[in-house]
Amino acid sequence: MQAHSLLRRALVVAAITCAANVSAQALPVQADAAEAHTAKAFETARQQGPLALHAFLATMPKGGDLHNHLSGAIYAESWISQAAADGLCVDIATSSLLDKSTSRAPNCASGQRSAADALSDQHLYDALVDAFSIRSFVPSAGHSGHDQFFDTFGRFQAVTPQQHMGDWLNEVSARAATQNEQYLELMVTPPFAHAKELAHTLGWQADFDAMRRQLLAHGLKDELTVDERLLTQALAERKRQQHCDSKQADAGCAVQIRFLYQVLRGAAPERVFAQTLLGFELASVDSRWVGINFVMPEDGYLSMRDYSLQMHMLDYLHRLYPKVHISLHAGELAPGLVPPDGLRFHIRQAVEIAHAERIGHGVDVMYEDHPETLLDEMATHHVMVEINLTSNDVILGVSGTNHPLPLYLKHGVPVALSTDDEGVSRIDLTHEYVRAAEDFGLDYPTLKQLARNSLTYSFLPGESLWTTKACQGETLGDSQPGTSCQRFLASSEKATSQWELERRLHTFEETH
Ligand SMILES: [Zn+2]
């Protein structure tokens, strides 16, 4: 690294001007010459159109993807190949893979075919790719993008994590690496059959304390070892497939992975409570699980009916397990999808009752009661919004001027771009960066800020680089920072990943 380059990248105490501020900044940075040069090159690419923008953004360091459902991230082609390997049958009428207990190739029943047939029958192959994703999808009466999107999950779920989670981790981390991502926070629902059974047996009680006591007394925690083992095996398999312990390690090995425990919100309250409790218990004993999230269509009957009740469950459990982080799908709604009253309070309750540190989607924010004060509150408390542009377009039909991204930015609410379900949507994170630049005119410094946010607001442990004084005066991302900075970085996984992002940004800006 040349001396002048070090100098121009030295930290200067000055306010960052970007709208999407990082939280409580003690270590502000100022745009330097390299960034200005890169920003200019970015604008040139923009003038040339989306293809040039894509080429520019493909290798831009993007930090992490904080809103990524592992099963939704797998491409249809992988489901087909794994189903074929497992000897699964396909129900032709619904294009759904069938559980091995139902039937098994080569003895598939009438109206079924072997998934392996798709490898030699292009028509079947195409039908399955379309069924497992939004490819070729055209809405029709009674079947919206929302329906197609959520229906895909039931069609490929016969391919199980017990057999293939290692393959999935390989796929998503390899794809992340090619786009210069370094961190994934993947949402996964580990087995919870025992919790489900206990919930059913014990039934619903309005007294959270009594419910928790009884669930624990009846062995809710027995399932923890099953869930821990699943992750251990999957991570080991990913490591094996990517040769992470060898000198020929794949690029995917460098992508750090953590997990968010998905609770299925569209279920009876006793089951939601039991599964949420299991998630908090798991995240308390296994640091690979960094938090909790609630999933399934927010507009579903039970999700809507029990929304406030579920927020109070989280409030109760958060008090008992304060170290477990919470991010919540909230406001993944649009006018017409639910009655107007249903749009008025989900994001606010997620923040004010359920202690959500991050909001997934937040699309209906302007239909909430007192939206401006809510936006200001989120900015003040640094509640980040995970923005999923393609998903919002496909599922909710919300895009362009109907999307609140510019309002979040205007109010200084921190945001980051994420993919939601890159396999089902057949996109990647680069695609979302291009879309943000094209549809909302975001410039390079703003996109860079969003990349920084994706690590600042990650649930990796440790203090943020932006709040410490230990690295003041240092060159961000330098390979040999001073002693106190080094000591600080060693103490914080989050700051270490942020430092790495700064190193990558420096490299990128030197060459663009
Ligand atoms: Zn999601």
pLDDT per residue over 372-390, tens digit each?
Answer: 999 999 999 999 999 999 9
Residue carrying the six token digits 């030197």: 510
If pLDDT is split at 50, 70 and 90, which confidence band does 11 have?
Answer: very low
Regarding whether 336 and 367 lie in a shared domain, the answer is yes
- For residue 387, report the distance from its CA to the centre of ligand 1, in Å: 10
Tokens of 349: 């309750």
- For residue 81, report the distance from its CA to the centre of ligand 1, in Å: 25
Whether residue 46 is contained in a domain is answered as: yes
Mean pLDDT score, 59-87:
98
pLDDT recorded at residue 366: 98
- For residue 263, report the distance from its CA to the centre of ligand 1, in Å: 12
- For residue 120, report the distance from its CA to the centre of ligand 1, in Å: 34
Model confidence over 134-143: pLDDT tens digits? Answer: 999 999 999 9
Regarding whether 240 and 380 lie in a shared domain, the answer is yes
- For residue 342, report the distance from its CA to the centre of ligand 1, in Å: 19
pLDDT recorded at residue 30: 52
- For residue 29, report the distance from its CA to the centre of ligand 1, in Å: 32
Regarding whether 404 and 262 lie in a shared domain, the answer is yes
Mean pLDDT score, 337-350:
97
Tokens of 24: 């409580």
Give dist(CA 380, CA 423) in Å, integer: 35
Whether residue 66 is contained in a domain is answered as: no
Regarding whether 449 and 470 lie in a shared domain, the answer is no
* Total number of domains constituting the chain: 3
- For residue 322, report the distance from its CA to the centre of ligand 1, in Å: 23
Whether residue 49 is contained in a domain is answered as: yes
Regarding whether 249 and 169 lie in a shared domain, the answer is yes
Q: How many helices (H) and strands (E) does the chain have?
A: 22, 11
Model confidence over 487-501: pLDDT tens digits? Answer: 999 999 999 999 999
Whether residue 153 is contained in a domain is answered as: no
Regarding whether 437 and 380 lie in a shared domain, the answer is yes
Mean pLDDT score, 433-446:
98
- For residue 420, report the distance from its CA to the centre of ligand 1, in Å: 5
Regarding whether 14 and 91 lie in a shared domain, the answer is no
Regarding whether 210 and 89 lie in a shared domain, the answer is no
- For residue 109, report the distance from its CA to the centre of ligand 1, in Å: 35
Q: Are strands 384-387 and 415-417 parallel, antiparallel or unpaired?
A: parallel
Q: What are phi and psi of 143, to 5 degrees?
A: -140, 95
- For residue 278, report the distance from its CA to the centre of ligand 1, in Å: 20
Give dist(CA 136, CA 129) in Å, integer: 9
- For residue 377, report the distance from its CA to the centre of ligand 1, in Å: 23
- For residue 511, report the distance from its CA to the centre of ligand 1, in Å: 34
Regarding whether 277 and 337 lie in a shared domain, the answer is yes
Q: Is the pLDDT of residue 310 over 50?
A: yes
Q: What is the DSSP string of 415-473?
A: EEE--B-HHHHT--HHHHHHHHHHHH---HHHHHHHHHHHHHTS--SS--TTT-STTTT
Give dist(CA 437, CA 53) in Å, integer: 8
Domain extent at residue 246 = 161-456
Radius of gyration of the chain (CA): 23
- For residue 335, report the distance from its CA to the centre of ligand 1, in Å: 19
Q: What percent of the chain has a predicted confidence (pLDDT) above 70?
A: 94
Beta strands in 205-348 (DSSP E): 256-264, 289-295, 325-330
Looking up residue 346, the CATH number of its domain turns out to be 3.20.20.140
Regarding whether 234 and 347 lie in a shared domain, the answer is yes
pLDDT recorded at residue 15: 31
Q: What percent of the chain has a predicted confidence (pLDDT) above 90?
A: 92
Whether residue 467 is contained in a domain is answered as: yes
Give dist(CA 254, CA 173) in Å, integer: 8
pTM of the prediction? 0.93
Whether residue 199 is contained in a domain is answered as: yes
pLDDT recorded at residue 315: 98
- For residue 151, report the distance from its CA to the centre of ligand 1, in Å: 14
- For residue 68, report the distance from its CA to the centre of ligand 1, in Å: 7
pLDDT recorded at residue 25: 55
Longest dimension (CA), the chain: 73
Polymer length in residues for the chain: 512
Q: Is the pLDDT of residue 325 over 50?
A: yes
Angle between helices 208-217 and 269-285 (to 10 degrees): 60
Tell me the average pLDDT of the chain: 94
Burial 277-301 (b: 16+ CB within 10 A, else e): bbbbbbbeebeebbbbbbbbbbbee
- For residue 264, report the distance from its CA to the centre of ligand 1, in Å: 12
- For residue 272, report the distance from its CA to the centre of ligand 1, in Å: 17
- For residue 67, report the distance from its CA to the centre of ligand 1, in Å: 6
Q: Is the pLDDT of residue 10 over 60?
A: no
Regarding whether 273 and 124 lie in a shared domain, the answer is no
Given a contact cutoff of 8 angstroms between Cβ atoms, the answer to whether 96 and 131 are in contact is yes
Q: Which residues contact 56 (CB under 8 A, 6 or more apart)?
A: 41, 42, 45, 512
Whether residue 492 is contained in a domain is answered as: yes
- For residue 294, report the distance from its CA to the centre of ligand 1, in Å: 9
Regarding whether 428 and 369 lie in a shared domain, the answer is yes
Whether residue 422 is contained in a domain is answered as: yes
- For residue 332, report the distance from its CA to the centre of ligand 1, in Å: 9
Mean pLDDT score, 80-87:
98
Burial 360-381 (b: 16+ CB within 10 A, else e): bbbbbbebbeebeebbebbbee
- For residue 409, report the distance from its CA to the centre of ligand 1, in Å: 21
For 141, which DSSP code?
T
